[in-house]
Structures are given as structure tokens and as C-alpha cells.
Structure 1
Amino acid sequence: MNIKKAGVFLYTMLSTMKVNLVGQLWLSELLVVIAAPFTFRPDDLKTYPYLKKILVALLVLLVFQMVTDLLAVGNSPQNYLRGWAATVIALLSFVVLFKTLNDTTTILFFLFMTMIKNIIYTDDIVDSDMSYFKFKIAPILTMAMYLVLYQLYKRGELKMALTVLIGCSLLCFAFDSRSTGVIFFIGAVITYFMNNNVHISRQKVILFSVMAAVLFQVAYVFYVRSVLAGEIGGEHSRTQIGRLANPYNPLELLITGRAETFAAGAAIADAPLFGHGSWAEDKSLKYYMILLMYHNEDLNTQRAKEDTHLVPSHSVLMGAWVNWGIGGFLAVLYLFWMIVKMGLYIIRNGQELALYPVLVLIFIGLIWTFLFSPFQHLRLYIPGLAAIIMNNYYALVMETEEEEPPYGIPIHA
């Protein structure tokens, strides 16, 4: 085992253990802090402009955090130090993981060890039958599928790879993990179109959009009927769909499923310039009540006050605005856009990469994470996946320019 794989092994295994230091940190994050001085070189910023832009975005975010916490809201040291530490950890993680996950073998080992970690470790959020598949089985399934897709695509078995993707998508829909199912399905569609040189015209886009909308609505009707009949899904899906005025309207399901978005919008409207600060508490329960309203639930004031409720967002992008105002949002939006540009380049030009379908899924997953996942994902999950995208982007660019990739990612491995 070389030093990079040893580092990957420690990083994944230590991400299951916490230590109290400026809030709770994973031991893997302490490993990143220790490793950063030995992996970063100043000329990396010149060699890899996107890495530089991402780090600049995080530094700008840190500046706006300080302005909001110290000058605008007068936050407590306990809260603002936790907020700042998360951004610093994210910055260091981008550097270390970018310099580590720089060849196909190491990337595959990272995916494999992440799967093993998910098998061994069960997060506290897995506390019901509903959450078991979504938060325990689905992450394991995702990593296992990445490894299978790599092997199938490498051997030229595109149809089998797409069949695996669609099958896993249907499995996730059946077991209450709709977001993962959507990502798998979109990944299959993109991989199919980009590997068959489908000429895209305005007429085809319109025709495909209409057909897709009709097929989606038909499939959605069958899905709702099956859930309400108890044939697929779990108690969470039945409860969620059962409280809708029109369960066959997918927009109503989206609204009740993403109620945090509306709560975050109200929080942004209340403090658009500087935000509410790091780890801002919803002391008046104003935004918590908005969540309950969209969930058609009544407020139990006594029970609600027994817990600490943070101002909700459930979105990396909106969370930045909620907590640190328009400046924080623009910094994270710029970071997001840098990743999107690299991902789109890979989708358009990377069909010869053996990791292509995996990269497509990782890219779609990153978009979903920025839009619909808690802000803490910026430090916990985004750096590793973005590092994989960035390394393959540079390998592909260097191959196009007929230059040797600096990190030697095998384009046709």
C-alpha cells in the first residue's frame, strides 16, 4: 500500500470518529490539518487555476463570515469559531484531497473505502425504517455501483452499465430514496446521449421535453398509487403524500418535501445583506413554524422550546446566504460555478474516460448537494467529490492539449 492509499484508508476510517475541538470535528479532518503543509505547494495555484479560484472563494466566504459574526450580529465565540473552523477545514480538505485523489487507482480505492466505512459506521440519523435505506443502504449501494460501472464501462459494456443504473434508480424509488433515484436516472440519460452522439436540435429538445413530461406524470401517478397502497415506499412517503391536497400533483410533493427552502427564503428576506450569523438559532421559532405549516403539522410550543432549532435552509447555497448574507452566498455560488464548469467539460468531452459514468453521477450529486443538502456538506462531502472532478478535468485538458497530465490519471484506464 503506497502513501496515498494509506492516507485514503486513514481519511475514510477516521471519518467515523469525532473529537471535541472548536465544536465537533471528525478525526479525518484533523488528519487533513496535519497533512496540508506536506501536500500543498505554492506553484499549485499557478498550475491549477480552478484550485486557486476555489480556494479564493472559500477565503472570501471566511471574510464575510467574520464581518457578519463580529460586526453585524455580534455572535458568540462558540458559534462563530465553529462556523469559521468549518470553512478552514473545507479549504484544507480541497487541497489535500485534490493532491491525493489524482489517479484512477487511488480514486477507486477511495470509493471502495467509503463503501466499507458506510458498511461499518451507521450515522445517528438512521433511527427508523424510513431512514435506514435512504441513509444506510443507499450510500453503500451508490459506492458499490460506482465500482461496477467503472468495470462495465471500461470493458465497453455500455448497455449493461445503463441497465445497472436504471435498475438501481427504480430500487431507490421503491425504497423511499427518491433523490438518489433521480440522480441515477439522470446520470443514465446523460451517459446514453453523450455516448451515442445524439444531435440535439430545438425541435428534438421540445419533443423530448413533452414526451418526458408525459411519461414522468404517468410514472408519478403509478408511483403515488403504489405508495398509498403500501406496495412500495415506507411510512414516511405514505405520510408525506397522504397530507397533500392533490397527491398527484408533483409540485405539491416538492413543496412539502423541501419546506426548508421556503423557511430559508423568509430568513433571507429578514436579513438579506449580512445574514443571521454562524450557527444562528431560531429563538422565536418563526422559521420552524414555517416548516410546520408546509408539513401541515401543529406547533407543540413546549416540546419545540426543549430543543435548539437553527435557522433552517437545507441547502449549501441558501445556507450561505441565510448565515452570512449576500456576500457569503456569492462566494459559495462562485465556488459552485467553478465545479459546474469542470463537470460540464467532462460530460461533453470525457466519454473515453473509464470513469465517465461515475464522474457524471458524482457531478450530478454535487449539484444536488449544493442545492438541497445542509451547509455542513461543504466541509464533509463536497471536497472529496470535487477533487475527483477537478483531477479528471485537468487530465482531460492535458490529454486534449497533447501534454502529459501532471498527476498521471490514465485517460483510458
Structure 2
Amino acid sequence: MINKIILILFELGYGIKFNLIGEISISEIFLIATSFFYIKKINFRKNKEIGRFTILYTLLIVIQIITEIAIDNNFNSAAKGIAINILSYLHIIFLYTYLKKSRSLISFALLGLILRFIIFGKDIESINIEDSAFIALLKFTLVPILSYSLIFLASTTQKWKTEYIAITLGILLIILGARSGGGIIFMTGLLSYIKRASQQLHFANFKIVLIIASVSIYTSYCFYVNQVLEGKIRSGNSEQLFRAENPYNPINLLMMGRSEVFVGYQAFTDKPWTGWGAWPKDPGMKYHKLQAKINNGKYNIYNILYDEIPSHSVLIGIGMMNGIFALFTMMLIFIYIIYMAKKTLKTNDAYTYVTVAFLIDFIWTMLFSPQSAFRYVVPIEMAFILITYQKYFVFKRIHKKYAKNHLYYYRRHQRHSYS
């Protein structure tokens, strides 16, 4: 019982924040204070997966320190950038030590996360200035609560067909204006359903189902765009569709909705070796003007919330801030998690919906969410995918090897007993 309460309070505590150089939560202060206790429990030589993560995180932090010194960034900004990755690593280690006891404890971490969104809402840096009050509430509070509630439901019971609820709810949220949030919930439900159905399908039939699903998704997207352009759907930031050169091209709409990512990539290519440093100021507002150009809108300094170079992507952001070697290291972490999730989804695991939801959200967050997301929700997803992978491809192998050795010595002892 104590483990469940700790996980709930720990994830809830991320909503209680203080200013200490940068913003830090009470849970992160707890992490720093107790990190040695959790780290010493892990045998890094035998636990290859945790060992690889430790090497990659250490390399990333060392690269950050070198590049921040090389460009002579101010101490506060540099410390904030480095702290994100340190706290992300400690968050993973903390959750891993509990999930290793039982994966079912993930539901209590999720419960703490849901309570955090209910009580404290969403971080202001994620909110789009173009969103109305209702859309901001829908996208940044209600959607996360609904999304994680579905994952919580799937992690606690198999009686509910969570994927059906997710498909229906996802479509409804898209219509209401939460395009990306609703789309993630819809895709999670659809892919979970396909995964469950594929257990009775041959591989050839499975490919046909994927093709049909892809065509259906794009057809639904075109129908949505058509309804917006005809004025039948006015919710959400529909103005982006009217400004897009080709609204029927999802990539074009993505460029409108996540223009910061493309701008961040341009800033990275302008200074690829060392990057600009953590939270760099936009020189002459060059990149904000480029963002306005991508959005087919006018640059207006009064509509700018921050004067830093925009990136809004964990992956692109680390490259823009700390250069190509930091980007490459973060890419290795990104690919490694996807690899483990993909391997896990080939099994008939009871937590399939949870893994699919975490994988889709992980990919989206790494590509299209601000740098701070790497220390909050992403570690929950990474820790769960890691422990699930080990359950099927590490722990079982160790158990089989132990059982084989035990049987060998048992039979040897029997032979000696009869001789």
C-alpha cells in the first residue's frame, strides 16, 4: 500500500513548484535528495538496458556542459537546460525501481498524473496564444485528463474495451477543436484494436487491415478539412486551415500548427556544431519573423510571449540548443525506446493499450512538445516501456537460464545419489 501512495503523491507533487535558478517541483527536490538510495539498488553491469540509458544520458549531459561553456551561455539558462536531462534520468530510475516490483503500479503513477492535471492544470509554456479560453482548457487540461484516464482504465481492468471508447472520444475531441490531442487518442484506440484483432489474422491480412486503416484515416482527415472550409466546423484553431496553402496535405497543416519545430530546425542548421545554448535569445527576432512567414501571417512583436528562439520540440530543441552531437545522442534514446516498444507489441501482453498509448504520446512529445516535457510525462512512458521489454526479453531469458541450470545440477545430483 505504501508504494501506491508514494507513486500517487510523487506524480502529484510535480504540480507544486518553486523558483530555484529555474522552476523546480517538490517531487524533483525529493528525487535529488533520494537519488542515491534508488541508484544504488541497480546493478548496472547486469542490467544492460539501464546501463545503456545511463551511458546515453551521461554523454548527453557532458555534451551539454561542453557546448554551454564553449558558447559562454549565462549560468542560469545553462543550468536549466542541463537540469532537465538530469531530472529526467532520475525520474526514470525512481519509477523503474517501483515498476520492477509490479507493472500494475503504473496505474497509481497515472492516478497521480491525472490528479495533477485536475488540480494544477497545464504548464503555461505549452499554451498557444491563438487559442481561445475554451480551446486552451480543452486541449491543455481536459484532453490530458481524458487521455490518461483511458490509460488508467486499461491498466486496471480488461473488462472494458478501452479502444472503442478511445476511437469514439478521439473523433469527438477532433470535432470540438482538439486536433492533435483527439488524434492521438483516436490513433491509440485504432492501433490497439488492430493489434488485438491481428492475433486472429495472418500477416497478409494484417497488411490489408493497415492499408484500409491508413486510407480511412486520410479520408476522415479530408472530410474534416472539407467541413471546416465550408464553415460547418468552427471549433479549434480553424484559421490555420484557411491560411494553409494546401489544407488537404496533413504535412502542410502540421507546418502551420507546429511552425516552431521547423523554425527550430532552421536555427539548428544555422549553428549546428555547438548550438545556441539553452533558452537562447532570438537575434533581431529573426526566427519569430520566419515563423510568421511559415504561418502566412504578419509578424507582430506584441503577439510574442517569449523572446527565445522557438523550437517546441524535445529532439529539435536539444539540437538547436546544444548542437549535432547532443541531437544524435537524444536520437539514440528516442530510437531505443521505439525499438523496445515495437518488440513488446509483438507479444500478447495484457497492457497492450498502455504500451500503444505511451509509444504514440512519446513519439509526439519528443517531436512536437517543449523541452521541459522530457522531465515530466516522458519518463513515465520510458520507464514502463523499459520494464515491459525486460519482462519479455530479459527476465524470462534469465529465468529460463536459471531453470535450465537448476535442472542440470538436479539431474547430476540424482545420478551421483544412485551411483
Which bin holds the TM-score, normalised by the shorter protein?
0.7 to 0.9
Q: For 1:211 and 1:37, how far apart are their aligned partners in 2?
A: 51
Please tell me the residue identity of whatever aligns with 1:394.
Q
Q: Does structure 2 conserve the Cα–Cα contact (< 8 Å) formed by 1:262 and 1:290?
A: no
Structure 1 contact 263–291 (Cα < 8 Å) conserved: yes
* Deviation (angstroms), 1:254: 1.8
Correspondence for 2:154: 149
Q: Any gaps of 5 or more consecutive residues in structure 1? A: 405-413
Mean Cα deviation higher: 319-328 or 43-52: 43-52
How far apart in 2 are the matches of 1:315 and 1:366? 12
Written as runs of structure 1 = structure 2, the 5 A alignment for 1:150-229 is 150-152=155-157, 154-155=158-159, 160-195=161-196, 196-197=198-199, 198-201=201-204, 205=207, 211-212=212-213, 214-228=215-229
Q: Which runs of 5+ in 2 are unaligned?
A: 401-419
* Cα distance between partner residues in 1 of 2:152 and 2:85: 31
Distance in 2 (alpha carbons) for counterparts of 1:218 and 1:193:
18
Q: Shift of residue 180 of structure 1?
A: 2.6
Residues 400 and 190 (structure 1), Cα distance of their counterparts in 2 relative to 1, 3 Å cut: farther
| 8 Å contact kept, 2:365–2:373 | yes
Is 2:59 aligned against 1:60? yes
Q: Displacement, 1:208? A: 5.5
Q: What does residue 401 of structure 1 align with?
A: 397
Shift of 1:326: 0.7
Residues 312, 370 of structure 2: 8 Å contact kept: yes
Question: How high is the TM-score relative to the length of structure 1?
Answer: 0.87
Note if 1:358 corresponds to 2:354: yes
Alignment of 1:249-268 (within 5 A): 249-268=249-268
Closer, same or farther: CA 100–179 of 1 in aligned 2, 3 Å: same
Q: Distance in 1 between matches of 2:224 and 2:253?
A: 12
Partner of 2:73: 75
Secondary structure of the equivalent of 1:378? Answer: helix
Deviation at 1:108, TM superposition (A): 1.0
Q: Deviation at 1:136? A: 0.6
Asked whether the equivalents of residues 172 and 178 of structure 1 are also in contact (C-alpha less than 8 Å), the reply is: yes
Q: TM-score, normalised by structure 2?
A: 0.86
2:145 matched to which residue of 1? Answer: 140
Asked if the contact 2:260–2:311 (Cα under 8 Å) also holds between the matched residues in 1, the reply is yes
Instruction: Give the greater-gyration-radius structure (CA).
Output: 2
Q: Which residue is equivalent to 2:417?
A: none
2:379 paired with 1:386: no
| Offset of residue 47 of structure 1 | 3.2
| Separation (CA, whole Å) in 2 of partners of 1:390 and 1:88 | 18
Aligned to 1:27: 26
The answer for the alignment partner of 1:345 in structure 2 is 343
Would the aligned equivalents of 2:147 and 2:185 in 1 still touch at CA under 8 Å? no
Q: 1:105: Cα distance to partner?
A: 3.3
Amino acid at match of 1:67: I
Find the counterpart in structure 1 of residue 410 from structure 2.
none
Structure 2: distance between partners of 1:221 and 1:43: 50
Q: CA deviation at 1:5?
A: 2.1
Deviations 1:326-383 (A, max 9, x none): 110011111112211211111112x2x3222111111121111111111211112211
Mapped to 2, the partners of 1:385 and 1:265 lie a distance apart of 25
CA distance in 2, matches of 1:233, 1:165: 23
Aligned equivalents of 1:47, 1:175: Cα separation in 2:
50
Equivalent pair of 1:170/1:181 in contact (CA under 8 Å): yes
Letter of the 1:144 counterpart: S
Corresponding residue number in structure 1 for 2:243: 243
The verdict on how the C-alpha distance between 1:114 and 1:286 changes in structure 2, with shifts beyond 3 A counting, is same
Alpha-carbon contact 1:80-1:278 (below 8 Å) kept: yes
Q: Is the 8 A contact 1:275 1:324 kept in 2?
A: yes
Q: Please give the alpha-carbon distance, in whole angstroms, between the structure 1 residues aligned to 2:72 and 2:143.
A: 41
Deviations 1:194-230 (A, max 9, x none): 33333334x974x566644543343223212333455
Query: 2:415 aligns to what?
Result: none
Per mean C-alpha deviation after superposition, the further-off stretch among 316-325 and 107-116 is 107-116
CA distance in 2, matches of 1:216, 1:142: 20
1:309–1:141 CA distance, 2 compared to 1 (3 A): same
2:235 aligns with 234
Asked if residue 331 in structure 1 is aligned to residue 329 in structure 2, the reply is: yes
Does 2:37 match 1:41?
no
Secondary structure in 2 aligned to 1:24? Answer: strand
Contact 1:22 1:85 in 2 (8 A): no
Flag the 1:378–1:253 CA change in 2: closer, same or farther, 3 A. same
Q: Which residue of 1 aligns with 2:298?
A: 298
Mapped to 1, the partners of 2:259 and 2:331 lie a distance apart of 21
- Name the amino acid aligned to 2:222: V
Query: What is the rounded CA distance, in whole Å, between the counterparts of 1:250 and 1:9 in structure 2?
Result: 38
Alpha carbons of 1:37 and 1:194: their partners in 2 closer, same or farther (altered >3 Å)? same
For 2:227, give the aligned amino acid: S
